[in-house]
Chains A and B, each alone.
Chain A
């Protein structure tokens, strides 16, 4: 097998397995969800100027319902995953920790989980 063939053959094998593959798929899904949410969020906040303070406060009252607080925490989780996995990607770009990228990933995910725990603790009384 020539060198070129081996490189080409290795592309799929290297990318589509294990931790790296799932990290990439979740990164992409969370990114698309957050991009979509960005525009929803901008529309909601713009109601303050477009429809007035009363209308905006009415929408905020709906967000206080347990279901929306829970969905909000899911968004925080998506932000934390995307942000902390993004840190890993920038570290890899800088050439830091490439040989231990799986360890770096799980350390960063632990940090993400701890920060999420803070948000959940604060939000908890507002769900129940």
Chain B
């Protein structure tokens, strides 16, 4: 395998695959998210406007899927940049665990923030 092809896999096979899976999920859900906020409701964004949208179960599923997928995609992306500028090995496990803690905490924070709108 060529060196540059191998370098792509230094982040690990599962993160590499998950980055593609979440990319597709983010692509679809963010398209819906941005169409709803920036095309259909432009100029009307407010607390009640969000409430009206998230009251529909379908939009809640879209936004929670987006929240989980985009957090993984963003944090793993930053992790890949970090790996490019660090010598893999010492401390890597600590960084991986730290990214997971940040991601899970951010998901629950986001879910906490959206919950009153979802439950109405």
Q: Could you list which residues of chain A lie within 8 angstroms of chain B, going by C-beta atoms? A: 7-8, 11, 14-15, 28, 31-32, 34-35, 38-39, 42, 45-46, 48-50, 53, 56-57, 60, 63-64, 72, 76, 79, 83, 86-87, 90, 93, 118-119, 122-123, 126
Among A7, A46, A123, the residue within 8 A (CB) of B2 is A7
Taking CB as reference atom, which chain A residue is nearest B38? A119
Report the Cα distance A20→B3, complex, angstroms.
17
**Separation in Å of the B69 CB from the closest CB of chain A?**
11
Query: Does B109 have its Cβ within 8 Å of any Cβ on chain A?
Result: yes
**What is the total of A-B residue contacts with beta carbons within 8 Å?**
82
Asked if B42 and A14 make an inter-chain contact with CB atoms under 8 angstroms apart, the answer reads no
Residues of B contacting A: mostly: helix
Chain B residue with Cβ nearest A63 = B45
Interface residues of B in 80-120 (CB under 8 A from A): 81, 106, 109-110, 112-117
Residue from the set A7, A39, A72, A87 with the largest chain B CB neighbour count within 10 Å: A39
Residue from B2, B42, B106, B110 in contact with A122 in the complex, judged by beta carbons closer than 8 Å? B42
* Known A48-B117, A53-B47: A86·B27 in contact at CB below 8 Å: yes
Chain B residues in 8 Å Cβ range of A48: 47, 50, 113, 116-117
Beyond A14-B4, A49-B115, whether A123 also contacts B47 by CB under 8 A is no
The residue that B75 contacts in the complex, of A35, A57, A118, with Cβ under 8 A, is: A35
Q: Is the CB of B47 within 8 A of A39?
A: no
Q: List, in ascending order, chain B residues with CB within 8 A of A126's CB.
A: 42-43
Q: Name the distance in Å between A54's Cβ and chain B's nearest Cβ.
A: 8
B106 touches A42 (CB 8 A): yes
Which residues of A have CB within 8 Å of B56? none
B74 closest partner in A (C-beta): A35
- Please indicate the chain A residues that have their CB under 8 angstroms from the CB of B110 in the complex: 42, 45-46
Q: Given A35-B74, A38-B71, do A11 and B3 touch, yes or no (CB 8 Å)?
A: yes
Chain B 20-47 against A: per-residue CB contact (8 Å), 1 yes, 0 no? 1001101100100010001100110111
Asked if B18 is an interface residue, CB under 8 A from chain A, the answer is no
